[in-house]
A and B are shown apart, each in its own frame.
Chain A
Amino acid sequence: MTRALNTLRQRFPLTWLGLMPFVIFVMMFLVLPTMHIVIGAFQTRDGSFTLQNIIDLNTGTIPSSYWISIKISVASAALGSLIGFAMAAAVVFGAVPRWIKSPLLTFSGVASNFAGVPLAFAFLATFGPVGLVTVLLRQNFGIVLQRDLGFNILSFWGLTVTYLFFQIPLMILIIAPALEGLRREWREAAEILGASALQFWRMVALPILFPSLLGTFALLFANAFGAVATAIALTGSSLNIVPIQLFAQIRGDVLGNPNLGYAMAFGMIVITAIANVLYIWLRVRAERWLK
Chain B
Amino acid sequence: MSVWARIAGWAALIFGLLYFFVPLGGLFEFSLRARRGVYSFDAYARVLADPQFQATFSYSVVMALVTIVIGILIVVPTAFWVRLKMPWARPYVEFLTLMPLVIPAIVIVFGYIRLYNTSSWLPLTGSVFGTNILLAFGYTILALPYMYRAVDTGLRTIDVATLTEAAQSLGAGWVRILGRIILPNVIPAVLSGAFLTFAIVIGEFTLAALLDRPAFGPYLQRIGANKPYEPFALSVIAFAITWGCLSLIQLVTRFQKSAPAKA
Chain A positions near chain B (C-beta within 8 angstroms): 15-16, 18-19, 21-22, 25-26, 28-37, 40, 83-84, 86-87, 89-91, 93-96, 100, 104, 106-107, 109-111, 113-114, 116-118, 120-127, 131-133, 164-165, 168-169, 197, 222, 225-226, 228-229, 232-233, 236, 243, 246-247, 250-251, 258, 261-262, 265, 268-269, 272-273, 276
A146–chain B nearest beta-carbon distance, Å = 17
What 13 new A-B contacts, CB under 8 Å, besides A86-B12, A90-B9, A117-B217?
A18-B77, A25-B74, A26-B96, A33-B112, A83-B15, A87-B13, A95-B10, A117-B221, A118-B27, A122-B23, A125-B23, A132-B25, A228-B104
Question: How far, in angstroms, from A31 to B236 measured CA to CA in the complex?
Answer: 36
Cβ-defined contact, B23 with A117, below 8 A: no
**A36 contacts which chain B residues (CB < 8 A)?**
111, 114-115
Cβ-defined contact, A268 with B104, below 8 A: yes
Binary per-residue interface labels of chain B (220-250) against chain A in the complex, 1 for a CB within 8 Å, 0 otherwise: 1100110000011011101100110011001
| A95, A110, A236, A276: the one within 8 Å of B246 (CB) | A110
Q: How many A-B residue pairs have CB under 8 A?
A: 250
- Known contacts A125-B30, A132-B26, A226-B105; A29 and B138 CB within 8 A of each other: yes
Cβ-defined contact, B205 with A272, below 8 A: no
Cβ-defined contact, B224 with A117, below 8 A: yes
Cβ-defined contact, A21 with B78, below 8 A: yes
**B93 contacts which chain A residues (CB < 8 A)?**
19, 22
Cβ-defined contact, A276 with B5, below 8 A: no
B137 within 8 A of A: yes
- Known contacts A90-B13, A226-B106; A164 and B8 CB within 8 A of each other: no
A14–chain B nearest beta-carbon distance, Å = 10
- Known contacts A122-B23, A126-B23; A132 and B30 CB within 8 A of each other: yes
Question: How far, in angstroms, from A272 to B15 measured CA to CA in the complex?
Answer: 30
B210 within 8 A of A: yes
Of all chain A residues, which has the CB nearest B15?
A: A83
B38 within 8 A of A: no
Question: How far, in angstroms, from A228 to B105 measured CA to CA in the complex?
Answer: 9
Question: How far, in angstroms, from A138 to B78 measured CA to CA in the complex?
Answer: 58
Cβ-defined contact, B30 with A91, below 8 A: no
**B78 contacts which chain A residues (CB < 8 A)?**
18-19, 21-22
Looking at chain B's contact residues, is the secondary structure mostly helix, strand, loop, or mixed?
A: helix
Cβ-defined contact, B203 with A95, below 8 A: no
- B window 83-126: CB within 8 A of A: 85-86, 89, 93, 96-97, 99-115
- Known contacts A95-B9, A125-B29, A269-B104; A30 and B141 CB within 8 A of each other: yes
Question: How far, in angstroms, from A117 to B220 measured CA to CA in the complex?
Answer: 7
Cβ-defined contact, A250 with B106, below 8 A: yes
- Known contacts A25-B74, A126-B23, A131-B26; A34 and B111 CB within 8 A of each other: yes
Cβ-defined contact, A106 with B250, below 8 A: yes
**A93 contacts which chain B residues (CB < 8 A)?**
1, 5, 9
B82 within 8 A of A: yes
Question: How far, in angstroms, from A93 to B236 measured CA to CA in the complex?
Answer: 35
Cβ-defined contact, A243 with B106, below 8 A: yes
